Amino acid sequence: MTLEILAMNRFDPARAAAVDAETKALLDRRARTFGPASVLFYERPVHMVSAEGVFMQAADGTRYLDVYNNVPSVGHCHPKVVEAMARQAAVLNIHTRYLYDNVHTYAERLLAKLPESLAHLMLTCTGTESNDLALRLATNWTGGEGFVVTETAYHGNSAAVTAISPSSMPGRTLPAHVRAIPAPDAYRRPTNDLSADFAADLDRAIHELKTSGAGFAGFVADSIFSSDGIYADPPGFMQDAIEVVHRHGGLFIADEVQPGFGRTGDGFWGFERHGVVPDIVTMGKPMGNGYPMGGVAVRADVLQSFCDAVGYFNTFGGSPVAAAAGLAVLDAIEDEGLMENAKEVGTYLMGRLRDLARLRPSIGDVRGAGLFVGLEFVSEPEARTPDAALARRAINGLRDRGILIGAAGPFGNTLKIRPPLPFSRENADFFVDALDDFLASEPA
């Protein structure tokens, strides 16, 4: 998460003086309880008290438009999700070694949204647990130990998943069983055939792993490449790469923690945009709209081989409460047309941002799919020089204009526009106008 940290600030006691007394007291308590692990957004951290839909309310009375958070994907504190969770928690909350029905209703509905070859669902509590399990499934199936990821990927926080998260090890050599390939970045690496280039990089990395003796277990990729800087186009550019993965006997693990659950607007899953079929799909963040849940959809043969060899038990994963929350999230996405909204408002938003980019040369690129949009700041448009300082100023400047947002990418110069899915055209207008206003306030 180093990229995000570029746009954040480690807690600095000096900063506390700038905030009011209540917030200062809270910062002190935070420093005492969390210690150096206290990483906060913003130069002046925001003290939150409530949230609803696409808005968050701070203690000082400011209402913020949330253009950042994808966990509350169907909207902060969605009443139906809260109710489903509360009602189930009052009745039964146990683990999966007893029989109960709603977890299977949930699994059936989720599996129906996935390619048929992904026959089974395993339930976990976080994106990290899902990816950690996926690595175990892939090494068990292939006998290989090696994984390929993209250069600024983040897949989670466990020991095994940190090892495949180059963004958690900036400037350090990756472990011997991991190779990182450049993100599919057509803006900085213009190409005539992104799909072929991306596949060629992957092929080279796999050869290296095989030569090194690590073998090849799989390719792990977030199909929206969120921490790499958000790359969605052209649709289909992952196809050649996935063919390479399979040709080498490895598994394609699609990390849908970011693009999944309707965000990209093209389909329920990000990988659908590319017409590829993963061997394992991992899920997290938006799955329970804040209730801690994750999942792994997997091929029957891959799972059978894992269960024959090891097995898996997750205490909280797949509890009736998780299932109830998950079902309410699916209902909300379907009943409220949130995937369609992501597509429509996302297209509108990108259009407006591209219009703005024509007027503001510091906006080098606008790209994305649905409600996952990247906006890259550059200091020299021709040279496309990344301008992380401007991104940092924009994040804080937008905050002063009632908008919460963050940055991504290897240079931290790309605004990560990723609001809750009920984001409206009006919200998009408010955001673009604020961005315009911020840019107008910058010295030319």
Ligand X SMILES: Cc1ncc(COP(=O)(O)O)c(C=O)c1O
Residues 156, 157, 160, 161, Cα dihedral to 10°: 10
Cα separation of 284 and 262, whole Å? 13
The region of 88-96, 200-208, 375-383, 386-394 touching a copy of itself under the rule CB under 8 A is: 88-96
At position 248, the amino acid (one-letter code) is H
Residue 305: other Cβ atoms inside 10 A: 15
The region of 156-164, 242-250, 348-356, 426-434 touching a copy of itself under the rule CB under 8 A is: 156-164
Least gap, CB of 119 to ligand X (angstroms)? 23
Cα separation of 199 and 67, whole Å? 33
Least gap, CB of 20 to ligand X (angstroms)? 30
Q: Is 444 in the site for a copy of itself (CB under 8 A)?
A: no
Q: Is 356 in the site for a copy of itself (CB under 8 A)?
A: no
51 binds, among a copy of itself, ligand X, none (CB under 5 to 8 A by kind): a copy of itself
Residues that bind ligand X (CB under 6 A): 126-128, 131, 154-157, 222, 226, 255, 257-258, 284-285, 314-316
For the purposes of burial, counting CB atoms within 10 Å of the CB of 136, is it exposed (0-12), middle (13-18) or buried (19 or more)? Answer: middle
Site for a copy of itself in 99-138 (CB under 8 A): 99-101, 103-104, 107-108, 111, 119-122, 125-129, 132-133, 135-136
Contacts of 351 (CB under 8 A, 6+ apart): none
Least gap, CB of 318 to a copy of itself (angstroms)? 8
Q: How far is CA 364 from CA 354, 383, 394, 415, in A?
A: 10, 10, 14, 11
Q: Which SS3 state, helix, strand or coil, does residue 400 take?
A: helix
One character per residue 267-286, x = contact with a copy of itself (rule: CB under 8 A): -----------------xx-
In the bound state with a copy of itself, the residue whose beta carbon lies nearer, of 196 and 307, is 307
Least gap, CB of 125 to a copy of itself (angstroms)? 4
Site for a copy of itself in 180-219 (CB under 8 A): none
Site for a copy of itself in 165-184 (CB under 8 A): 168-169
Q: Is 162 in the site for a copy of itself (CB under 8 A)?
A: yes
Least gap, CB of 316 to ligand X (angstroms)? 6
Contacts of 132 (CB under 8 A, 6+ apart): 156, 158, 160, 161
Bond from prior residue into 422 cis (ω within 30 degrees of 0):
no
Cα separation of 114 and 413, whole Å? 34
In the bound state with a copy of itself, the residue whose beta carbon lies nearer, of 177 and 367, is 177
Least gap, CB of 134 to ligand X (angstroms)? 10
35 binds, among ligand X, a copy of itself, none (CB under 5 to 8 A by kind): a copy of itself
In the bound state with ligand X, the residue whose beta carbon lies nearer, of 45 and 284, is 284
Whether the Cβ atoms of residue 325 and residue 408 lie closer than 8 Å to each other: no
In the bound state with ligand X, the residue whose beta carbon lies nearer, of 237 and 316, is 316
In the bound state with a copy of itself, the residue whose beta carbon lies nearer, of 99 and 444, is 99
Q: How far is CA 233 from CA 99, 194, 368, 369, 415, in A?
A: 44, 9, 7, 8, 17
In the bound state with a copy of itself, the residue whose beta carbon lies nearer, of 71 and 196, is 71
396 binds, among ligand X, a copy of itself, none (CB under 5 to 8 A by kind): none
CA-based nearest residue to 148, from 210, 58, 104, 67? 210
In the bound state with ligand X, the residue whose beta carbon lies nearer, of 128 and 139, is 128
Contacts of 360 (CB under 8 A, 6+ apart): 436, 439
Q: How far is CA 371 from CA 81, 116, 258, in A?
A: 21, 27, 11
Q: Is 95 in the site for a copy of itself (CB under 8 A)?
A: yes
222 binds, among ligand X, a copy of itself, none (CB under 5 to 8 A by kind): ligand X
For the purposes of burial, counting CB atoms within 10 Å of the CB of 283, is it exposed (0-12), middle (13-18) or buried (19 or more)? Answer: buried
Residues 272, 274, 279, 284, Cα dihedral to 10°: -50
- Tell me the residue number closest to ligand X, measured at CB: 127
In the bound state with ligand X, the residue whose beta carbon lies nearer, of 148 and 257, is 257
Residue among 6, 65, 74, 96 that touches a copy of itself (CB under 8 A): 96
Q: How far is CA 293 from CA 304, 359, 439, in A?
A: 23, 43, 39
Residue among 14, 21, 61, 98 that touches a copy of itself (CB under 8 A): 98
One character per residue 29-58, x = contact with a copy of itself (rule: CB under 8 A): xx-xxxxxxxxxx---xxxxxxx----x--
Q: Which SS3 state, helix, strand or coil, does residue 10 take?
A: strand
200 binds, among ligand X, a copy of itself, none (CB under 5 to 8 A by kind): none
Strand 294-298 with 280-283, pairing: antiparallel
Site for a copy of itself in 327-346 (CB under 8 A): none
